Chains A and B, each alone.
Chain A
Amino acid sequence: MNNSTVFDELYGRYKSSLYSLACYLTRNQKEAEDLFQDTWLRIAKHLAHQTIDIDNCKTWMMTITSNLYRDWLRKKRVRKSFSFQKSNPDGQTGTYLEKPMWGEKACLENDPKHLEVKMALSKALAGLPPKQRLIFVLKEIEGYKYSEIGEMLSVPEGTVKSVMHRAIRKLRKDLWVYNPKKAIIASV
């Protein structure tokens, strides 16, 4: 099979899932686009050197995205330490939230009461520390197992579990006001 044909096949199959992963990780349209492009360019370069099993390469592609995201975070941290810019305007620990994932358009179709909860969840997700968000997204949104995430990120399974627990604890804490019983905070 020709390189271009393989690329076409891969691009057609996985472009949407990689874009959504990039969006969930960066929480920023522009940065998600950059991450998406970098991922595909990396894949295109790999195509020339590697044997690729088209049917089973989603995990590999997700690993590339995750690694690029971690590189990008590292660079961002270095850049931040050398600049005198103020912290994010929304005061979140995560990246600057330009557009929440659940936009008004998507929420209006459903029950308007849920709009607030969905927006809050979107904000809570954005507020997760990057490492927790990465693992949470891979586990809950992409549906990978702990062991697979561990392999993808080259971290022990135990670390993945503990980070996941911390992420859920933080989300519960951030969303407790939206629970009708409003008693969750006591258990966190």
Chain B
Amino acid sequence: MPYYRSHVLVCADPECISRGALALEDALQDELVAQGLIDEVQVLETSRLGGCSSGPEIMVYPEGVHYSGLTEDDIPFLVEEHFLKGRIVERFRVPVKSDADEELGPPKPKEVRVVLRNCGKIDPENIEDYIAEDGYMALAKVLTEMTPEQVIDEVTRSGLRGRGGAGFPAGRKWQLCRQVPDFPKFLICNADEGDPGAFMNRRVLEGDPHSVIEGMIIAAYAIGASQGYIYCRAEYPVAVRTLRIAIQQARRLGLLGENILNSGFSFDLEVRMGAGAFVCGEETALIASIEGRRGEPRPRPPFPAVKGVWSKPTNNNNVETYANVPQIILKGADWFASMGTEKSKGTKTFAVAGDVNNTGLIEVPLGITLREIIYEVGGGIKDNKGFKAVQIGGPMGGCLTAEHLDAQVDYESLTSLGAMMGSGGLVVMDEDTCMVDIARYFMDFTQDESCGKCTPCRVGTRRLLDILLRICGGEGRDGDIELLETLCEEIRQTSLCGLGQGAPNPVISTLQHFRHEYEAHIYEKRCPAKVCRALIQYRISKDICTGCTVCARNCPANAISGERRSPHTIDPSLCVRCGICAQVCNFNAIEIVSEGIRAAVN
């Protein structure tokens, strides 16, 4: 049997053939014969090497080199260089299309990819790729073998809880909507992923839109809905585009529209775009937005399951909730329930951002500990700094500290610790983070996004923000902490919707775990983490400074003075704390200090 030391795969897709692939292949064979290499190098035809619009494409193994755009005239040179001299010809080389993309990468230890299983592996703009991965098999099973009640039963038994943050059992929600005797019924997918730091839904919508669509069709069948909307935020234009293409392709194959798969069940889907309002992630505000109104929430009851879009029964679930459904149907409720903890079944995607080495998306079984997420999956804190806190649940979540690192991540545990699962955004903060600044930061966000309808939120968050700004600005007063606590409790109890009810959470949880930082800011006018501009100073070390004048020349406020070759000084009354001097100093002579007032006020 001939032993080949090298294989050359020539892409013979129609596009490549139209660009001369076969002639190239012949030229290659001829040259290999002429060079006496034909017994060592085998030429094969293949398909889908990718990038066929710039073809012909060839792939050479064992090196795994992808060459593109060759002509017959290039062949002698290629054969001589690559096969005789063993040198890769860089100018024809293109990067190999990798299997997993940069954002996701291959699964990290402890990851179990259920919702993310296809992302980066299939072409989201090709429904056949999805079908090849058992796509729409669940729908076929549902429409031909199961009644709506059986579908609801299966989903209920699986223990799937809403992945948008509240964790309400999905099966029960569907049942509630199903039993309302009113038609038509609607289905909504909440794709308004507005939590800063959360981009899991984006990835699924961009990488595997059909998993969501299939889940929605199954849900619609279960509750008896005839029309669905995917409400996607406008900041995700790629996701919107991918969804629209996917819906079109599904319609063309008869998977959406009238009489799906000849079952008698009809359902159609539409994408609705948001317009930049975080509050529209709240379901009643979302419904208002679909109806063409301001995204202002309304009181519940009545819940959307009873009166939703245009006052008709509506089921609303998160992207990730729907994306789990096809696999629950195919693999069974028991399979899903085998992962996770007793009350929190299945897996959850998380977006890890902040001061960790591996930021990005992960999907892990519920019940994993924070320590495992941050250190094993997240690769630990960047620059080997100390871990300070992790914010979970977005701007309405809370922060957890080092003492909670071994807490299990599931719905109940997090709530009992004063945090919230939320949609899955995790922001990790290292020792150089000021927690008062973080509270101010989140409050700034929620204040801006408050819809303004109810006084506790509209006015309350403004007052909270004002107090926090004063504290960070060095004007904190005795009594501020108590005032914050009282306000937080009032706002939480009396706000109309989840935004207002949750807005005080970052303040409450940072006060709970980092009260000493607040006290330092207020009573000592000191920022322990050296972040708050009004409380820090940039100082040049006299021992290290060489007087090179680089900092003085770069200071935008002309705050640095000194003779050449003599240590320089910064005038704190002129300094704007921009940090440029510390950046340009070649000797690391400039440090940030926060000493506060020496006489502590009690």
**Chain A bound to chain B:** no
Using CB atoms and an 8 Å cutoff, list the residues of chain B in contact with chain A. none
